[in-house]
Amino acid sequence: MAELLFPLWQIDAQEYRAVCTHLRLTPQERLYERLSRYLAEAPFRFPRPGGFARYLAKPRLTRFRIARLDAITKLFLPAHPLRHVLNGVIALHECDPQGYRELAVAPLGWRTLFTVFGQALAFVANLSVSLPWLAWQWIGYAAGAASRPADGLAGKRALITGVGHGLGRDLMLRCLEGGAEVIGVVRSREARDRLQAELPSCARATLLVADLAIPGALSAALRESHIAAGSVAIAILSAAIKHDGKSVLSLPELRETFQVNFFSAVELADWLCGATSDLRVESATMADRDGSAASGVAPVAAAPPGAAMGDRALSSTTRVVLVSSMGRWHGMHFSGGYNASKAALSIWGESLDMELRQRGHRRFTVTVVEPGIFASGMTRQTAFTRMLFVSREKVADRILSGALAGRPAIRPPGWFALLTWAICLIGRNNRYRIFASAKPRPDR
Amino acid sequence: MNRVVVVGSGVSGSHAALTLLERGHDVELWDVGRSEPPFPLHGATFHELKDRLADPIAYFLGSGLDALVPPASPELLRYPPSRAFLTSAADELWNFTSDGFSAYGSFAKGGLANGWGANALAFDDNDLAEWPVSFADMDAAYKTVYDRIPVAGPIDDELTPYLRGVHISQPPVRLTGSDRRLLDTYQRRKSKLKKLGVTVGCARLAVVTDPSRADACDYSERCLWGCAKGSIYNPRQSTLKDCETHRGFRYVAGRLVLALRSKGNSIDGIRYLDVAARQIREEACEAVFLAAGALQTGAIFLRTLKAARAEAAPRSEGLLDTTVVKIPFVALRSIGHPADARSFQFNRLIAGIVSDESTPWPRYLHAELLHLTSLIYHPLIERLPFDTRTSARLFFALKPALGVATLFFPDRITSGNQQRVVDHGGITERVELHYRESEDKERLIRQSVATMRAALYRLGCLPRGIVRSPPGGGIHYAGTVPMGEGAKRCDATGRSNLFGNLYIADGAAFPSLPSKSITMSLAAHATRVARLAEL
């Protein structure tokens, strides 16, 4: 079964079967496929549910939930995505011969009145269960309201690297669902074509191709895109590679790892800051004054066509998000320098933040993300590691809400960060004993 | 004889062209001229299509489910992409902007008449109260039009005194069981309904019902999805074909007329968009009949005015719109009865709210009573005030008893309701549509809705709520170059007061928009204008 692009709006096959059972219809796979495509376009067609409706839309649909939400959303929460699901199921099934026959079953004569009264009683009975359930759900919603991130993506432009798969893809989908326009960077044309075919045609996404392992590729792709750097409200460096099983002495892998995981962040920040501030000029001037070469800093480039006026209003603040790793706190053998590159990224990110603050560039905030392990494709999946896995969707949510709030560091989940720091405090010998058992994942 | 260009192939254009041809003129009829895909499976009913079409969902909802009406939408129906005669803001050739006015048009051969509701009424003297012409002036043209268009209905009933000018040539459309029960209730409670001013009767419909004719209605319940048999009048299938029998007729498709070129007080050229080449071209002409629909005709006239008379503000004198209000109801007597297997899909009954002599205008307010037979139902199910499961069960249990009373509200020229040319660049100058409902109209709507609700109760029906189309949603527009005095108007014969060889042959010339369905009057006006034109 294909992974759902927008779980808030779409339903999986099991949920579809539950909806059909609720409506007393026979599930049909070809109708489900059409429904799924229709619902994949919902984030771009219909108003996004907020507040309590959104809270109720997140859990999976079971028959019990569907029966409750059907009545409640009709009466109180018309923006809930279930309304589109139920309406879509009725529409598709009424155009289908079998579905129409099932829907159009109607009694005749006096039995019609019994049916009408029966349905009225069933509705009242449903409400007598659904209303207390709604009150209970409200309590849960109100209790968690303080810790719930505010929605702030609508109308913003997000630039995300590594959207071809994993966390980057999730971040892109979250941004699209939240009403943002996404400029995504993928590694190859094949990845772009695959992703384009997967996304609904109405999705506000522009995909750029840049192999971040090639120095300057990201900068070139961004320049050629004619996108105004100042229009980007949130820029997330999510792309990363990891050469499992390769010695930290393998120079080619080490260079590639640093290029993708670290230097591409420099390129991204350079493009963002350079087009809208004089940071690079100041840096270069200072370097010249010191008599040293401004190595690694590109000369000030002319603004790309269209960038000067921008194809969109300037964002008042740009959130720069660098996805590092909790692995940055400790070494790891045979990782091709992955942990070292993430350490460099975290420290460099903090340095960038300091530099921006010192120069008074209040337009930028820098958020360093150091997540625990999650299903990214980089971590070997064992029974033990799966226990430690944190949901990738939750990591994406935390990153976006933390970045929008301008937090300097995000380490989801908190308990994993505490565990890592505890291990870091017990000394290198003990750390070695713990990590020595970690087997590398075969290199891809 | 003169070579005349008629712009637009809808009801107005086709009848103007035919009349000019009958007068012996050579006629070129210019049009964008898009065509609809052929209607599938002749003879199959609406519901049989679900069984027999390879992909019924694509047919009814569109392959991208564009005709799926989302919850909370004010629409009760969307035409699927397979019915491509209707266009609006999403169309690449659409050159109107508006603030809250949901305008529709058609670039199809046959125009909006490809999807009209077939109600075929004529305007009487009270309907024409604000016109510089009377029923007597129009009568000859009405007779010609009713000769050309077969109309089904009763020869004489209680509505006949209010429907002057209607000529019946076909037996009435077959009623459903629900219709018959409603009429039966009406007969029994007639005196109470008369006190409300409400009269109910069979609809007058432009449909062939005589079973001896090959194109007679087969009651396949597909009127909305295109009459596969051609029983419902459509200028594409009849009047334009009559035009083609004349040697002097030439149909020119692929041209979107933008403006006219003037020289002094006459038109000497037409500026148009060659749709295929995407280029603007000009061609000389001797006389022009604008019949592109009130909105396009008004836009063409204003662009012409802007170029010819720099001192005149490019704003129309008016913009008229029929407000449509629907009152859903449950007919209690029809609960528990089976639905008819085959029926005419549009309304088979009409009702008139008739005011006394003290009411100057409108004395007759037109309503259509429709019992649901075959539609795409999900928007109606979603509107019921219960959860979807209950709503679906209740809806189908009560379906033979469910109906809609649709009221059509007249309009008169009101200050501020107008078209304005705005220059946004691009290939054509866009025209803004400014429209606000007047307080008089709102008052009439409130009164009439209350009257109709009371009438429905007396007919043994339970009305529930109202569904009101947004401005423009009724798709009846008029009054953009109205009859009257002034440079931006035309005279009583439809001739422009500014340009001697320009004729306004469609609803743009209507100085008011009566409640009755306008299609037959569009045809009659076009026929009269073409007949009286000094060529």
For B151-172, the pLDDT digits (tens) are: 999 999 999 999 999 999 999 9
Min Cα distance B56 → chain A (Å) is 6
Q: Which two tokens stand for residue A411?
A: 């380490």
Min Cα distance A196 → chain B (Å) is 17
Q: What does the pLDDT look like over A290-338, one tens digit per residue?
A: 433 333 323 323 333 333 334 556 667 889 999 999 888 888 887 778 8
Residue A94: which of B338, B377, B385 has the nearest Cβ? B377
Distance separating alpha carbons of residues A108 and A105, to the nearest angstrom: 10
Chain B residues near residue A102 by CB distance under 8 angstroms: none
Give the model's pLDDT for residue B335. 93
Residue B390: which of A45, A111, A119 has the nearest Cβ? A119
Distance separating alpha carbons of residues B224 and B207, to the nearest angstrom: 13
Q: What does the pLDDT look like over A126-165, one tens digit per residue?
A: 999 999 999 999 999 998 876 666 678 888 999 999 999 8
User: Letter for the amino acid at B77?
Assistant: L
Q: What does the pLDDT look like over A365-423, one tens digit per residue?
A: 899 999 887 765 555 666 666 666 677 888 888 888 888 888 899 888 888 889 889 88
**Candidates 3.30.230.10, 3.30.70.890, 3.50.50.60, 1.10.150.80; correct CATH number of B1-22+83-149+234-318+420-435+476-535?**
3.50.50.60
Position A266 pLDDT exceeds 80:
yes
What average pLDDT does this structure show over A259-287? 69
Distance separating alpha carbons of residues A48 and A6, to the nearest angstrom: 12
Helices A81-94, A29-40: axis angle to 10 degrees equals 140
Task: Give the per-residue SS3 of B166-234.
Answer: CCCCECCCCCCHHHHHHHHHHHHCHHHHHHHCEEEEECCECECCCCCCCCCCCCECCHHHCCCCCCECC
Residues sharing a CB contact under 8 Å with residue A167, sequence separation 6 or more, in sequence order: A238, A323, A371, A374, A376, A392, A395, A396
Give the model's pLDDT for residue A304. 37
What integer best gives the mean pLDDT of chain B? 92
Rounded to whole angstroms, what are the CA distances from A187 to A58, A192, A218, A252, A444? 31, 8, 10, 19, 15
Chain A residues near residue B47 by CB distance under 8 angstroms: 100
DSSP-derived secondary structure letter, B252? E
Helix spans in A277-334 (H): 279-289
Does residue A119 sit at the B interface (CB-CB below 8 Å)? yes
CB-based burial, A193-203: b 16+ in 10 Å, e otherwise = eebeeebbeeb
Give the model's pLDDT for residue B311. 83
Q: What does the pLDDT look like over B451-485, one tens digit per residue?
A: 999 999 999 999 998 988 889 988 899 999 999 99
Does residue A302 sit at the B interface (CB-CB below 8 Å)? no
**Which chain B residue is nearest to residue A113, measuring alpha carbons?**
B336
Q: Do the Cβ atoms of B452 and B179 come closer than 8 Å?
A: no
Rounded to whole angstroms, what are the CA distances from A39 to A4, A244, B374, B459? 10, 39, 26, 43
Q: Which two tokens stand for residue B474?
A: 């009724």
Reported as half-sphere exposure (CB side, CA atoms, 13 A), residue A220 has a value of 9
Give the model's pLDDT for residue A154. 85
Q: Which two tokens stand for residue B25?
A: 């003129």
Distance separating alpha carbons of residues B262 and B499, to the nearest angstrom: 8
- Phi and psi at B230, nearest 5°, equal 75, 25
Chain A residues near residue B337 by CB distance under 8 angstroms: 108
Distance separating the N- and C-terminal Cα atoms of chain A? 24
DSSP-derived secondary structure letter, A234? E
Min Cα distance B381 → chain A (Å) is 8
Helix and strand element counts for chain A (H, E): 19, 7
Is A133 exposed, middle or buried, given 0-12, 13-18 or 19+ CB atoms closer than 10 A? middle
Give the model's pLDDT for residue B150. 96
Q: What does the pLDDT look like over B214-261, one tens digit per residue?
A: 999 999 999 988 888 999 999 999 999 999 999 999 999 999 999 999
Q: What does the pLDDT look like over B84-105, one tens digit per residue?
A: 788 888 888 998 998 889 899 9
Distance separating the N- and C-terminal Cα atoms of chain B? 8
The residue extents of the domains of chain A are 13-143, 157-436
Give the model's pLDDT for residue A305. 36
Give the model's pLDDT for residue B412. 93
Give the model's pLDDT for residue A293. 33
Chain B residues near residue A22 by CB distance under 8 angstroms: 389
Q: Do the Cβ atoms of B270 and B286 come closer than 8 Å?
A: no
Handedness of CA A202, A208, A211, A213 (dihedral sign): negative
Between residues B312 and B34, which one has the greater pLDDT? B34
Position B209 pLDDT exceeds 90:
yes
Give the model's pLDDT for residue A285. 42
User: Which of the four pLDDT bands, split at 50, 70 and 90, describes residue A278?
Assistant: very low
What average pLDDT does this structure show over A264-270? 90
What average pLDDT does this structure show over B330-347? 91
Closest CA to B107 of B172, B25, B13, B4: B13
Size of interface A-B (CB pairs under 8 A): 116
Predicted complex ipTM: 0.87
Give the model's pLDDT for residue A439. 60
User: Which of the four pLDDT bands, split at 50, 70 and 90, describes residue B314?
Assistant: confident
Give the model's pLDDT for residue B369. 95
Percent of chain A with pLDDT over 90: 48
> What is the spatial order of strands in the sheet that A318-323 belongs to?
A205-209, A181-186, A157-161, A234-237, A318-323, A364-369, A409-410
Does residue A70 sit at the B interface (CB-CB below 8 Å)? yes
Closest CA to B178 of B452, B370, B345, B326: B370
**Which chain B residue is nearest to residue A104, measuring alpha carbons?**
B396
Q: Which of A286-300, A338-352, B201-215, B377-391 has the lowest mean pLDDT?
A: A286-300
Percent of chain B with pLDDT over 90: 77
Give the model's pLDDT for residue A440. 56
Position B374 pLDDT exceeds 90:
no
Q: What does the pLDDT look like over B183-192, one tens digit per residue?
A: 999 999 999 9
Cβ–Cβ gap A110/B50 under 8 Å: no
User: Letter for the amino acid at A17?
Assistant: R
- Phi and psi at B339, nearest 5°, equal -80, 150
Give the model's pLDDT for residue A382. 64
Peptide bond into B514 cis (omega under 30): no
Residues 6-35 of A with CB under 8 A from B: 22-24, 31, 34
User: Which of the four pLDDT bands, split at 50, 70 and 90, describes residue B73?
Assistant: confident
The dihedral region occupied by A159, where left means phi > 0, alpha psi between -120 and 50, and beta the remainder, is: beta
Report the top-level CATH class of A157-436.
alpha beta
User: Which of the four pLDDT bands, split at 50, 70 and 90, describes residue A211?
Assistant: very high
Does residue A74 sit at the B interface (CB-CB below 8 Å)? yes
Distance separating alpha carbons of residues B55 and B49, to the nearest angstrom: 9
Give the model's pLDDT for residue B274. 95
